[in-house]
């Protein structure tokens, strides 16, 4: 009996020390996303396609809801465990008493572009001209919608002065503009790159760069993050770490990858039938991805200001930004 205990204890010690690693049990995690082909969510696709989830023992079930607001609804409703979505959703949920926290930053810049249909460029010369117009967004309530509403407020309009039309995140969004179903668009690459290349839009606002982000928001503005409910983190701490590890690997890979390597990794359908176009879109967006996985305090405060500006009910709410982002897991993952 003592010999068996000794051998069992020795085996456990070797496993913990990494000398005799045991195969980790696979953990199924349901992940929600609002437009998976969009470059806003590229780290998710990289983690999936490069096998980073599998390497961490994660069986990732990815559900694409076409818009960030819908993936948030899925999290609150319990049909997904984790979401890759806009950071501002964590602030909104905290204000509503829902303990939703981000655990890894994916995008340090929004990478959202606001443009107008080319044949209307002479009439819609700025966002101030959007009153009464139809604006295509991934989904109402999503980051693309909030960005254009914020731009309208800055231009002296009301957030309700234009109709926001949900056009999804794929080929349907491109078709909506080409068919003239919308007058303007607030969207992301590669949708924007396709419309630009085909001469369908004139760009008014571009947050794919730090300069463009500061021009609209007055400072940095963290974008896509990985977020989940605090009670899920508490019940699945090991699983949370595995998920964050996979995304950290994706961010590190992206920081060193060429546009060609990225294009080779994603599904060919993401290219919209034009690989050269996709390469252009990737080059336009590379600056936007997080380098550390952690947003700056200035950036978090900037998003809080955006949310409060758009939602008068939140102007008097006490929101502790420290509760919106749990950096413990990403610090371990990034080393």
Tokens matching residue 279: 């390469």
Q: Are 27 and 58 in contact (CB under 8 A)?
A: yes
Tokens matching residue 281: 């879109």
Distance CA 134, CA 131 (A): 9
At 226 the three-state DSSP class reads strand
Average pLDDT, the chain: 91
184-187 and 113-117 beta bridge pairing: antiparallel
Say which CATH superfamily domain 2-109+222-334 falls into.
Answer: Periplasmic binding protein-like II (3.40.190.10)
Q: Are 65 and 195 in contact (CB under 8 A)?
A: no
pLDDT the model gives residue 2 = 37
The fold adopted by the segment(s) 113-206 is D-Maltodextrin-Binding Protein; domain 2 (3.40.190)
pLDDT above 60: residue 6: no
For the chain, what are the domain ranges? 2-109+222-334, 113-206
pLDDT above 50: residue 284: yes
pLDDT the model gives residue 186 = 98
The arithmetic mean of pLDDT across residues 131-152, rounded, is: 95
Q: What is the pLDDT of residues 206-226, one digit of tens each?
A: 999 999 999 999 888 999 999
Distance CA 256, CA 240 (A): 25
**Confidence tier at 59 by pLDDT (50, 70, 90):** very high
pLDDT above 90: residue 124: yes
- Could you report how far apart the first and last alpha carbons of the chain are, in Å? 41
Q: In what order do the strands lie in the sheet with 163-166?
A: 163-166, 134-137, 184-187, 113-117, 201-206
Global pTM reads: 0.85
Tokens matching residue 12: 């456990």
pLDDT the model gives residue 9 = 40
- Which has the closest alpha carbon to 223: 158, 149, 302? 302
- Please give the C-alpha separations between residue 208 and each of 49, 114, 122, 192, in angstroms, as whole numbers: 24, 11, 24, 11
pLDDT the model gives residue 313 = 79
């Amino acid at each position: 009996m003592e010999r068996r205990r000794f051998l069992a204890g020795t085996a456990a010690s070797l496993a913990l020390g990494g000398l005799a690693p045991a195969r980790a049990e696979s953990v199924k995690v349901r992940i929600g996303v609002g437009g998976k082909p969009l470059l806003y969510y590229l780290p998710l696709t990289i983690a999936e396609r490069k096998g980073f989830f599998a390497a961490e023992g994660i069986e990732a079930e990815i559900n694409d809801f076409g818009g960030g607001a819908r993936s948030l609804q899925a999290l609150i409703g319990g049909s997904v465990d984790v979401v890759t979505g806009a950071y501002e959703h964590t602030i909104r949920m905290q204000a509503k008493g829902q303990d939703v926290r981000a655990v890894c930053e994916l995008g340090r810049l929004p990478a959202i572009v606001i443009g107008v249909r080319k044949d209307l460029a002479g009439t819609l010369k700025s966002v101030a001209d959007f009153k009464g117009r139809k604006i295509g967004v991934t989904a109402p309530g999503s980051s693309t919608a909030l960005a254009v509403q914020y731009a309208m407020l800055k231009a002296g309009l009301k957030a309700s002065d234009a109709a926001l039309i949900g056009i999804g995140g794929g080929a349907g969004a491109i078709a909506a503009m080409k068919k003239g179903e919308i007058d303007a668009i607030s969207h992301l690459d590669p949708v924007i790159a396709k419309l630009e290349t085909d001469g369908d839009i004139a760009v008014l606002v571009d947050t794919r760069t730090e300069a463009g982000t500061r021009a609209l928001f007055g400072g940095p503005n963290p974008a896509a993050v990985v977020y989940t409910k605090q009670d899920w983190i508490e019940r699945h701490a090991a699983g949370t770490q595995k998920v964050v590890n996979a995304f950290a690997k994706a961010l590190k890979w992206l920081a060193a990858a060429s546009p060609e390597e990225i294009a080779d990794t994603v599904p060919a359908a993401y290219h919209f039938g034009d690989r050269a176009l996709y390469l252009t879109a990737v080059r336009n967006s590379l600056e936007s991805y997080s380098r550390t996985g952690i947003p700056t305090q200035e950036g978090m405060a900037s998003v809080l200001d955006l949310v409060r500006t758009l939602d008068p009910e939140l102007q008097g709410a006490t929101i502790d930004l420290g509760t919106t982002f749990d950096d413990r897991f990403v610090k371990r993952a990034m080393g």
